[in-house]
A and B are shown apart, each in its own frame.
Chain A
Amino acid sequence: MRYVEEFRDPTQARALLKAIGRSAEALGASRAAPIRIMEICGGHTHSIFRYGLDKLVHEGIEFIHGPGCPVCVLPRSRVDEAVTLAERPGVIFTTFGDAMRVPGTSRSLLQAKAQGADVRTVYSPLDALELARRHPDREVIFFGLGFETTTPSTALSVQQAAAEGLTNFCVFVNHITVPPPLKALLDDPHMLLDGFVGPGHVSMVIGTHPYDFIARDYGKPLVVAGFEPLDLLQSVLMVLEQIREGRAEIENQYARVVPEHGNPVSLAAIEAVYEPRPSFEWRGLGEIDASGLRMREAFRAFDAEARFQVGYGAPQGRAQVPDPEGCACGQVMTGRMKPTACPQFGRGCTPDTPLGALMVSSEGACAAYWTYGGARVAAE
């Protein structure tokens, strides 16, 4: 596969692993006193486990899995609100596949579907738009999920719906932005991070400058990285080199895809349709100021929460829903606990019977540990 295989070359990987080892030695990193690098994005977590990078890097490098899996950071209350919307008579509720199995308080979207709700998996909000055109008598709601990577496509579909005068299409907006939760993590005095590997696909849209505060205000290095194993290894090496040289900068390893200033067309679409919410609830992190997006006044007609008065649009306010008993998703999400240290991991919580989203989404840290055997192979 051209343009992918090159970034999976084992020979080059071995060379990078050696260089990482030398750097880690020079920094005096050890299993007892590791260099802690947070890979923010769930896609990176997945790649690390898929290729076994966590086992292959020097033992003094510890990967901390960040809050960058949009399904995983969705609190249970938001799943409940999605189910409420999906179960309204006349509604066709459309969603990306990942979100189907995430458990709500009493049921997931998949279970709601089995009980009669019209829930459909789509691959793009444009598919939802097409459903709205074909079913003018039905309300088509799109479950808008994701970071800056998916926000432009829902923004464009809302602009398109407005241009066509489609009145039966709206979005349940759960779009979130990467920098605010990083700030929340960095402000946490318990957090012991030495550097970050940043999500390349997000920077493809926003560029690298939104991370400047991490180097400037917190003195931590961040390297924007691609998703192939060589990308990740090179990025880890770049973080280590910065630490060794006493630098804290925002560097771009993924320059073949990421322009410094992002994608102006995508940014303009986001800017036209969305504005920051005063605050948004994250699983494990609670409400974070200005971390989520909502429709601007001009597009409020396409906002499912406003239209159906649920969630942040409910006149009586949102219901508070605690995480299930014994579920430590929040601590795992903030890097304070390894998935395997959670008392429910592999017992009350498995991919067959997940308690939290980290076990559901293929990009969740717990699912990655389970699927690729970080826990079970090691336990042998």
Chain B
Amino acid sequence: MNAATKPSRLRDTHVTLSHGGGGRAMRDLIEEVFTDVFRPEGDEDQARLTDAALATPGARLAFTTDSFVVTPLEFPGGDIGKLAVCGTVNDLAVGGARPLWLSAAFIIEEGTEIALLRRIVASMVREAEAAGVRIVTGDTKVVGRGSGDGVFITTSGVGVIPAGRDLGAAQIRDGDVALVNGVLGDHGATILAARGDLALSTPLESDCQSLTHLMEAVLAAAPGTHAARDATRGGLASTLNEMAEAAGVTVELDEAALPLRTEVKGLCEILGLDPLYLANEGTLVLFVPEAEAEAALAAMRATPAGRDATIVGRAGPRGSVPVTMRTAFGGQRIVDMLVGEQLPRIC
């Protein structure tokens, strides 16, 4: 029977503990809000999967998992559902894998609006389709009021890395060019502004987007690409530090080349934050041999997720400070790992 025409048995407007109790209420919630929309195949409590790519000699399976918590659950440019799909898809994509399947587990706080759950699920399906993955299995649990923050989502993802592809931070070499696909800090700045306690209104939107198609385009144009990472928590600064340390190289950023929106710069000025440490959810950094840098740049710019792609720096020989920045004034400063979390200053 078509989900749209099936009479609804779910009468509640908000999730109660009985929706986690294993009975009729739980079945109704899972069917109407989740499985009717995700439409996993088969009736068993497991996904049974095949894909031709897996049968190719030399192909490898990529498997990753990530949990998502965000306040507010819906924000300009996305919601926790979109985030949960993009985050895991991107973890696969930046490793050179073609994402295939996702699982999605929900921890739902008692009192959560069912309409909100429906919106989150709809946005997950939309994003999964755009990224070319299927959500094939899942789970829900309900916790009492005060034991959660609305909705927590954990997604795990499986993808296939084609034979011969081996991206990794350890492959980065002295002389590699560092590129990003777009502006930095939009997600972090959007979330800060959307929490409402700054009394700032900005036209900012989260950069939350999946990077599958962009990565495929880059790897086709620049097959010698050494490494890619999505610059999520801790921002570009923390991601570069991790990569530089893993590779045993240094990275010098060019301050004047960093793509930043005026609104993000303004918000950071007011709060005393550094946009290099703001989270991104659809921004990656690539290390490419110099000979392929222009090809990678052009390939990125030809995709919707890479329109603002640009070269931001370069890898250098091993040194005592992993990441530095050439300032617009010609000075040089360290770009360190983030300590704790960024805390807004007093004045």
Q: Which residues of A contact B (CB under 8 A)?
A: 1, 4, 8, 10, 13, 43, 49-53, 55-56, 70-71, 96-101, 110, 121-123, 127, 145-147, 149-150, 201, 229, 351-352, 361-363, 370-373, 376-377, 379-380
Contact = CB atoms under 8 A, between A and B. Distances in A.
B347 A123 contact: no
B320 A376 contact: yes
A376 B197 contact: no
Nearest to A70: B346
Nearest to A375: B334
Contacts of A127: 197
A373 B272 CA distance: 19
B56 interface: no
Nearest to B269: A4
B23 interface: no
A365 to B, nearest CB: 15
B328 interface: yes
B317 interface: no
A150 B346 contact: yes
B336 interface: yes
A319 to B, nearest CB: 25
B347 A149 contact: yes
Chain B interface residue number, banded = 20 to 34
Nearest to B328: A10
Interface of B: 197-199, 262, 265-266, 269, 271-272, 319-321, 324, 327-334, 336, 339-340, 343-347
Nearest to B272: A362
B186 to A, nearest CB: 15
Contacts, number: 99
B269 A1 contact: yes
A58 to B, nearest CB: 15
17 contacts: A10-B330, A49-B333, A55-B331, A56-B330, A70-B346, A98-B344, A98-B345, A99-B346, A123-B198, A123-B271, A146-B347, A150-B347, A351-B336, A362-B343, A377-B324, A377-B334, A380-B319
A362 B277 CA distance: 14
A1 B266 contact: yes
A371 B334 contact: yes
- The interface residues of chain B, by DSSP majority, are classed as loop
Most buried by A among B265, B271, B327, B336: B327
Contacts of A10: 328-330
Contacts of A50: 327, 333
B345 A51 contact: no
Contact of B324 (A71, A201, A373): A373
A145 B346 CA distance: 8
Contacts of B333: 49-50, 52, 372-373, 377
B192 to A, nearest CB: 10
A25 to B, nearest CB: 21
B336 A52 contact: no
Contacts of A110: 340
Contacts of B271: 123
B108 to A, nearest CB: 25
Contacts of B329: 10, 13, 51-53, 56, 229
A372 B346 contact: no
A123 B271 CA distance: 9
- Across the A-B interface, give the 6 residue pairs with the lowest CB-CB distance, nearest first: A52-B331, A97-B343, A373-B334, A351-B339, A149-B347, A372-B333
Contacts of A351: 336, 339
Contacts of B334: 371-373, 376-377
Contacts of A52: 327, 329-333
A201 B347 contact: yes
B197 A147 contact: no
Given A98-B343, A100-B343, A371-B336, A380 B328 contact: no
A128 to B, nearest CB: 11
B343 A121 contact: yes
B213 to A, nearest CB: 32
Most A CB contacts (10 A, CB to CB) among B199, B319, B329, B346 go to B346
A110 B341 CA distance: 11
A46 to B, nearest CB: 8
A201 B345 CA distance: 14
